[in-house]
């Protein structure tokens, strides 16, 4: 009889632990999604503010690309450093993660600047093409 009661108490404690762990996971996911949303809103709003303050939308687009590049580069660098630590077994510890984050941020900035240069090139080509089309329409027929 004592074993049955202890078994029931063990099952009840197990269910309570599972419920508490589930609540903890749900709260963690909600906090992560909230932080991601706030980061996204911060990036977008600061890029809009840069564009409005300078009076040039291209500056806002450049700020957006740079912020997205850094925001994506840091976790990528951390992940790459983690893989290097795992497979190479350097045993260095946290400095490799700091270096990985820095390299990821710099790589993100480089990719953002390349994307910005491509955007500017495409924008200039489209403007030239539109100017050429408009100039043909405005010429009188002879």
Q: How buried is 125 (Cβ within 10 angstroms: 0-12 exposed, 13-18 middle, 19+ buried)? A: exposed
Q: Is residue 62 within 8 Å of residue 116, measured between CB atoms? A: yes
Average pLDDT of the residues in 52-63:
90
Q: For residue range 4-30, what is the model confidence (pLDDT) as tens digits?
A: 899 999 999 999 999 999 999 999 999
> What is the model's pTM?
0.68
């Amino acid at each position: 009889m004592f074993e049955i009661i202890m078994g029931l108490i063990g099952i009840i404690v197990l269910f309570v632990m599972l419920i508490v762990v589930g609540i903890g996971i749900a709260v963690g996911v909600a906090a992560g999604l909230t932080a991601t949303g706030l980061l996204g809103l911060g990036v977008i709003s600061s890029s809009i503010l840069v564009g409005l303050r300078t009076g040039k939308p291209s500056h806002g687009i450049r700020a957006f690309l740079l912020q997205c590049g850094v925001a994506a580069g840091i976790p990528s660098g951390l992940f790459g450093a983690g893989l290097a630590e795992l497979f190479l077994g350097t045993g260095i510890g946290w400095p490799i993660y700091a270096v990985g984050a820095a390299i990821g941020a710099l790589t993100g900035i480089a990719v953002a600047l390349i994307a910005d240069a491509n955007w500017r090139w495409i924008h200039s080509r489209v403007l030239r093409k539109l100017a050429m089309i408009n100039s043909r329409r405005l010429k009188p027929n002879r």
